[in-house]
Structure formats: C-alpha cells, structure tokens
C-alpha cells in the first residue's frame, strides 16, 4: 500500500539539521559570522563576511574565533570589512548633515522675506518644492 502523506510529513524530525550555519572550529556551536579562506599561492588567510553559501574549502567562524584568528608564521591575514555593519559617521558626514538641516530651515525664511516674489539667489534654480530644488541644465 502506498502512503498518502508526502515526504515532509513522513520524515522523522531531526534536531541535528539547523538553518543557522555554525562555527567550523571543533566543539564550537556558536553561529558563524565570518568565512575564512586560505590562498596558499600567496600565503594569505582571508577573513571576510559570512559567505552566501557554505563552500567545501572555506571555514565559517563565530565572532570569537574570527577575532582571535592568527595565521601560520610567514603568512599574512587579510581582514575584509563587513558590508552589513554600518560605518561610523566621520566629521565630514556630520558637518554635511548639519549643513543640510540648516539649508532645509532656510526656505521659510526666504519666502517670508521675499514677499512671495521670484527667488534670484541661485540663477540655476528653476523651481522649489519644500527642500527639493529643480535646477536648470548647465547646457541652457
């Protein structure tokens, strides 16, 4: 007799298989956050963000093991920045943000002072809507 249940319903549940990739180090069960690859020709160990899928010649490492990673004598360790981590703002970024906030506050002051007339401050500006400006093409 043939069973009417599909393969998923008749499968025995297992606690061994996990959707989370684990650290490759022996006896470490923490979730992996980085992938280690050895480039033997260059004597280099490359540690980067967790690869999209597990590769047979790469090693997934947890945060602790990736921070403590050392390479054999004569080898170089290259640590690639994790793209998912937000970069800390620099002084230039903060200054640009402050200038943008100041600029966004100015249109109300100019509109009240100009009496509703046309703006002549920027000859390239054609129109304005809130903090957005429509600029004339440099060719015109």
Q: What is the pLDDT of residues 7-36, one digit of tens each?
A: 554 455 555 555 788 999 999 989 999 999
Lowest mean pLDDT of 37-41, 121-125, 131-135, name the range.
121-125
Band of the pLDDT at 134, cuts 50, 70, 90?
confident
Domain ranges of the chain: 34-79
Number of helices followed by number of strands (H, E) in the chain: 3, 6
- Nearest 5 degrees, angle CA 61-CA 71-CA 38? 65
- For residues 104 and 131, is the Cβ–Cβ distance under 8 A? yes
Band of the pLDDT at 137, cuts 50, 70, 90?
confident
pLDDT given for residue 10 in this prediction: 44
């Amino acid at each position: 007799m043939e069973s009417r249940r599909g393969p998923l319903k008749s499968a025995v549940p297992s606690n061994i298989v996990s959707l989370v990739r684990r650290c490759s180090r022996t006896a470490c069960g923490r979730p992996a956050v980085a992938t280690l690859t050895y480039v033997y020709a260059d004597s280099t160990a490359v540690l980067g963000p967790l690869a999209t899928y597990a590769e047979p010649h790469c090693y997934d490492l947890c945060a602790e093991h990736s921070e403590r990673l050392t390479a054999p004598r004569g080898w170089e360790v290259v640590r690639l920045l994790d793209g998912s981590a937000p970069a800390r703002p620099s002084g230039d970024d903060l200054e640009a943000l402050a200038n943008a906030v100041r600029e966004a506050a100015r249109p109300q002051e100019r509109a009240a002072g100009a009496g509703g007339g046309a703006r002549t401050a920027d000859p390239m500006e054609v129109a304005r809507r809130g903090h957005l400006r429509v600029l004339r093409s440099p060719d015109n």
